[in-house]
Amino acid sequence: MKTRRIQHEDGRTEIVRVLSTEDLIAWSDEDPLAYEKSIVWLEDIGDLDYVRVVRVNCAKSRRGPLSLNSGERVVGYAKLMPDAPRDTKTQRFARRLFYLRDVDGPDTEVSIPETAVDPRSVLPGIFGEAPVSHQR
């Protein structure tokens, strides 16, 4: 997969998916990540061992910033392509959100969650790899 990195003046880093003919041939509407256009990182992912991931099924927009109401620190989110479908019942979009909890700080001793991913391996349309499994 080809990507392009955009460094925004406000500090965000956006990894944009550049679609090729091969990508279009392999397209599947059944793939929940197929409509991701880019991943926006709000923090330097080089400083993060892992991020937690949640699929937000109630996003009002395809591209706007996402947040959690439960106090977690949002470190990134996915933007969708202009033709991404809405849920037929809710008329909302499904997007990925990457976050950390207070217990995920470098000075805490918490094991890496099983659902965590290495943020350096996350790309638009690609789930990402599990981080190195160790106690923090």
The pair of structure tokens assigned to 58 is 């109630």
Query: What is the pLDDT at residue 95?
Result: 94
Residue 72, domain member (yes or no): yes
* Side-chain half-sphere CA neighbours of 57 within 13 A: 5
User: Does residue 94 contact residue 56 with C-beta atoms inside 8 Å?
Assistant: yes
**Which pLDDT score, from 0 to 100, does residue 135 have?**
36
What is the extent of the structural domain holding 85? 2-121
62 within a domain of the structure (yes/no): yes
Residue 41 lies inside a defined structural domain of this protein = yes
Residue 132 placed within a domain:
no
Total number of domains in the chain: 1
Number of C-beta neighbours around residue 118 at 10 A? 17
In a domain? residue 53: yes
**Alpha-carbon torsion (41, 42, 48, 53), positive or negative:** negative
pLDDT at residue 19, rounded to an integer: 78
pLDDT 10s digit of each residue in the chain, 136 long?
A: 789 999 999 999 999 988 776 766 666 777 778 899 999 999 999 989 999 999 999 999 999 888 888 878 999 999 999 988 888 899 999 999 999 988 887 666 677 888 899 999 999 999 999 987 543 4
Euclidean distance between CA atoms 7 and 41, whole angstroms: 10
Residue 123 burial (C-beta neighbours within 10 Å; 0-12, 13-18, 19+): middle
